[in-house]
Structure 1
Amino acid sequence: MTQDIGRTERRAVRRLLGASFVDFLGSGLFLAFSAVYFTGVVGLAAGQVGLGMSIAGAAAIAAAIPLGRAADRYGVRRALVLVHALRAAGTAAYAFVGDWWGYLVVVTIITVADQIATALTQAYVAEIVEGNSRVRVLASYRTVINLAISIGGPLGGLLAGTGLFRTIILANAAAYLLVTAAFATLPQSVRTEEPAPVRRGLGVLRDLRLLSLACVDGVLQLWQPILNLAFPLWLAQATTLPNGLLGVLYAINTVLALVFQALIARHITSLRAARRYQPVAAAFAAAACLLFWYAAQSIPLALFCAALVMLTAAELIAVPAAWTLSYAFSPDDQRGEYLAAFGMGRSVSRYVLGPILITGMLQLVGGWTWGVLALLFAAAGIIAPLTIRNADVTRSATS
């Protein structure tokens, strides 16, 4: 992954990956018991927790472009240091939340910081490496994330049994401070670049070609709420399979992502490849939806396994395709703003389409939800290559 970049870049990449491992080890640990903590310790109702997350998600979408624009102006690395410091402070504040309003403030701060951190990390990678190496570095970054979460999740579940929730949360906040310190010592940029001029007005929102790309990607990124929401709800609602199988089934996704993400990403580092592979990702996702639907009628365990393989294949293709496209259509002096705007499609999938379309429709129309999702993926697969072909690349990109 790093053999085709220089020594300074390799050092920066290794430190970025190390900091990211600590970061998502903590995230996995907290997510494993967060619902129990907020409902059982803080005393919030499940509906209050969900409402707070939805409001926080809307705030993250609204804040994405202004924060990306500020990062372009003042420096991506500086922005990342601030973002991770906010995450550390917000996580520590969770230990002292006592009511819904306090929870809402803290979850909003953390969600906004989490969402912009993804775009800014991608922008920072673009500053320290060039060309095809960017997608390869991000593939390694995502592999590290999956490994860290796969360790942090079970560990968090075990630690939750001790009942020391606030102690664990404060330890997690301390880990985020280490991440902040690591980003503070990373180079500002290997290449010298002029600071972006002050920008006002709609900016990237006038760029309809980028927004159309973000919309298509938003549909393809529905794999995430399907994996985290729809699949476990459907297993519990429509089959007699024990809920204990969820961990085993999730392991299919985790193992495949760890083994194959970097390998697949190597083949999707050009605009031409992204255009070719996005419909493939859509086809895999549509097939997964149909298998989930049919699983309620016949051989559920085998079909759930097959569906998760298909869904993971869609994930492992759609994610690097999104990286390649977002880099190719982002001007160098507006990279933070453009990458943040492109990421809004993913945020809408996670916070709007996922909870409303998937969970709501599963309750109202049951299995037909999978048919609707399959049609959405099929439409995205048809539209994706047309959208890319009709857009002008804003900077040099391999094709």
Structure 2
Amino acid sequence: MTKGGPGGRTARRGEGSAPERVLIAASFVNRVGNGLFNAASALYFTLVVGLPAAQVGAALTIAGLTGLLAGIPGGHLADRRGARTVMVCALMIQAVSMAALVLVDGWLALTAVATVDQLAAAVGGAAWGALVARVGGERPARFRARLRTFVNLGVILGTVGAGLAVAAGTRGAYVALILGNAASFLLCAALLLLLPAYPVLAAPPRRRRWTALSDRPFLAFTALFGAMGLQYPVVSLLLPIWISQHTEAPRWTVAAVFAVNAAFCVLLQTRIGSRVETPGDGGRALRTAGLLFLVSCPVMALAAHTPVWAAAGLVVAAVFVHSLGEVFESSGGFALGFGLAPDDAQGQYQGLLGLGFSAGQALAPALLTTVVLGLGTAGWLLLAVFFAVLGAAGPPLARWGARTRPLPGGAAEDVAV
């Protein structure tokens, strides 16, 4: 986020519209490909390749955990060598590794190819964060909100395509999904070449090389954001199991849950996210998200104790509230994640944030299925309080971050609650 005088800022905002459109288009293409692959990958490896589900899970777990190691170094490389260059290289590697999956015929091959893919994905994710910071400029909230709207839309469209392939059930259909995802990486890389070659920002003298790892407020935010990220598997994993095993709601309610969640996130992200600009705004958005989750989780639990149609209505209403919380949570994460990071080290900081978020997502299935499902209604109430406490920590964390670094526009006013 390059600083400058008023005239320079106005010029940059006018010139920034084209790069914003390019990055939105590139991200949309990439997420359509991700949606194609992610929704059907497990079925391909088990039904087509013929690997046992346990072996597939083990291979993907090993790859995912190994990939976590590359985020921070990859982000630092993006800061020092240019985010666009690093991201394009990562996308090219992912295109090759994704295409190689059609040749996989055993566990070792799957583990090796998936590990290369996850290493490149972690590097690319950190570089993407640094690139978003440069393209977004000094008032990036609306851009990031629009970007996430199109990202969500891309995943939805890709998932629809995956559903068609799954319905066909042939090897050719699954291979088309994989090669389609590989092509999306290549197209995304080609689009990124249309972006300006942003100059590397010089780091201040005497700064530690791995400054993100010694930034205690940002480390605390990383932990909080990773823990609050448990709200994503609530809709994608926990609630479908709860609906099918513990409520009288019709089974089509599971599909309605995903439709409501996707629709409201797409419709509301820009409207709400564009208003969450500063770290102070981000802290308050996290608090709001925690309160919304405090409402949605008990309503989800209540669905297990009501008749069939009441249960369906409660689930849909709960998902609406939860989706609203998701929009506030993601918007707050953007504002704090980018706002607390130094301009010249955005890649390294986004790499750290990605590591924390990915670690939380890796732990989420075990935690949610054992604790919440194991305790039933009490587990949902515990989860609601957990999210509310995390959200309440947002404003004081924003104030702590403001005290440890200069913020534009007056830090004291920014973090007032």
State the TM-score, normalizing by the size of structure 1.
0.91
Is the CA contact 2:152–2:266 (under 8 Å) kept in the aligned structure 1?
Answer: yes
Who is 2:181 aligned against? 172
Shift of 1:397: 3.5
Does 153-162 or 323-332 show the bigger shift? 153-162
Who is 2:277 aligned against? 269
| Aligned pairs for 1:306-385 within 5 A | 306-352=317-363, 354-362=364-372, 364-385=374-395
- Of residues 151, 156, 175, the one that matches 2:157 is 151
Shift of 1:228: 1.4
Shift of 1:202: 5.1
Describe the superposition over 1:110-144 as per-residue Cα deviations: whole angstroms up to 9, x where unpaired.
23333443332231122133222x12111111111
Whole-Å separation in 2 of the counterparts to 1:199 and 1:8: 32
Whole-Å separation in 1 of the counterparts to 2:94 and 2:240: 29
Is the CA contact 1:65–1:337 (under 8 Å) kept in the aligned structure 2?
Answer: yes
Shift of 1:319: 0.8
Change (3 A) 1:267 1:77: same
Task: Give 1:167's aligned amino acid.
Answer: A
- Unpaired segments ≥5 residues, structure 2: 1-9
Whole-Å separation in 2 of the counterparts to 1:73 and 1:192: 6
Who is 2:78 aligned against? 71
Shift of 1:184: 2.8
Q: Secondary structure at the match of 1:27?
A: helix
Describe the superposition over 1:93-119 as per-residue Cα deviations: whole angstroms up to 9, x where unpaired.
111111122212222232333344333
| Aligned pairs for 1:231-242 within 5 A | 231-242=239-250
Matched residues, percent identical? 30
Describe the superposition over 1:9-65 as per-residue Cα deviations: whole angstroms up to 9, x where unpaired.
211111111111211111111223212111101112222222333323322322221
Whole-Å separation in 2 of the counterparts to 1:124 and 1:185: 13
Change (3 A) 1:276 1:174: closer
Change (3 A) 1:234 1:198: farther
Task: Give 1:166's aligned amino acid.
Answer: V
Moved over 4 A (4+): 195-202
Who is 1:300 aligned against? 311
Shift of 1:186: 1.9
Who is 1:284 aligned against? 292
Who is 2:6 aligned against? none
Is the CA contact 1:329–1:393 (under 8 Å) kept in the aligned structure 2?
Answer: no
- Unpaired segments ≥5 residues, structure 1: none
Who is 1:207 aligned against? 215
Who is 1:136 aligned against? 142
Task: Give 2:195's aligned amino acid.
Answer: L
Say yes or no: does 1:106 pair with 2:113. Answer: yes
Change (3 A) 1:5 1:228: farther
Whole-Å separation in 2 of the counterparts to 1:197 and 1:85: 34
Task: Give 2:322's aligned amino acid.
Answer: L
Whole-Å separation in 1 of the counterparts to 2:256 and 2:237: 16
Change (3 A) 1:274 1:374: same
Whole-Å separation in 1 of the counterparts to 2:97 and 2:72: 21
Shift of 1:324: 0.9
Q: Secondary structure at the match of 1:300?
A: helix
Whole-Å separation in 2 of the counterparts to 1:217 and 1:284: 16
Task: Give 1:82's aligned amino acid.
Answer: C
Task: Give 2:387's aligned amino acid.
Answer: F
Describe the superposition over 1:180-207 as per-residue Cα deviations: whole angstroms up to 9, x where unpaired.
1222332121x66337899977542221
Does 172-181 or 71-80 show the bigger shift? 172-181
Whole-Å separation in 2 of the counterparts to 1:250 and 1:256: 10
Whole-Å separation in 2 of the counterparts to 1:314 and 1:51: 32
Task: Give 1:318's aligned amino acid.
Answer: E
Task: Give 2:241's aligned amino acid.
Answer: L
Whole-Å separation in 1 of the counterparts to 2:379 and 2:103: 40
Change (3 A) 1:124 1:296: same
Whole-Å separation in 1 of the counterparts to 2:146 and 2:11: 14
Task: Give 1:388's aligned amino acid.
Answer: A
Is the CA contact 1:5–1:129 (under 8 Å) kept in the aligned structure 2?
Answer: no
Does 53-62 or 144-153 show the bigger shift? 53-62
Shift of 1:176: 1.6
Describe the superposition over 1:193-226 as per-residue Cα deviations: whole angstroms up to 9, x where unpaired.
3378999775422211111111122222222111
State the TM-score, normalizing by the size of structure 2.
0.88
Whole-Å separation in 1 of the counterparts to 2:348 and 2:259: 35
Say yes or no: does 1:80 pair with 2:87. Answer: yes
Question: What is the aligned length?
Answer: 394
Task: Give 1:188's aligned amino acid.
Answer: A
RMSD, aligned CA: 2.3
Q: Secondary structure at the match of 1:394?
A: coil
Does 75-84 or 220-229 show the bigger shift? 220-229
Shift of 1:318: 0.9
Shift of 1:393: 4.8
